[in-house]
Amino acid sequence: MRPLILILSLALALPLVPGAAQATNHSCNQLRQTVLNRAPASSRTLPYGALPCSAISEIHLLIARRGNMSMGRLADRIEAVFRREGLIR
């Protein structure tokens, strides 16, 4: 009986294991547009199209986990990503 319960619990839990995420150009463009829509107004003029997917993902995480961070502080953090990528001074 125990082996049957173990097999059933594993079979039910297997779909819950996340698969490897594969970023495609399409998904990166969607994420870029989402970031641009949710970014503070003061940072919407930055060259988001020149950022690689990893930097776009980082900015998306900053926006999603903003918490009690002010919009000015969020804009500063976003600009820091652009500076690190060498896109602005």
Assess contact for 47 and 79: CB atoms under 8 A. Answer: no
pLDDT of residue 78: 96
Global confidence as pTM: 0.70
DSSP state of 15: G
Rounded to a whole number of angstroms, the CA Rg of the chain reads 19
The H or E element spanning position 56 is helix 53-64
Mean pLDDT calculated for residue range 14-26: 55
Residue boundaries of the structural domains of the chain: 24-89
Residue range 45-64, pLDDT digits in tens = 999 999 999 999 999 999 99
Residue 20's pLDDT is what? 42
pLDDT band at 25 (very low <50, low <70, confident <90, very high): low
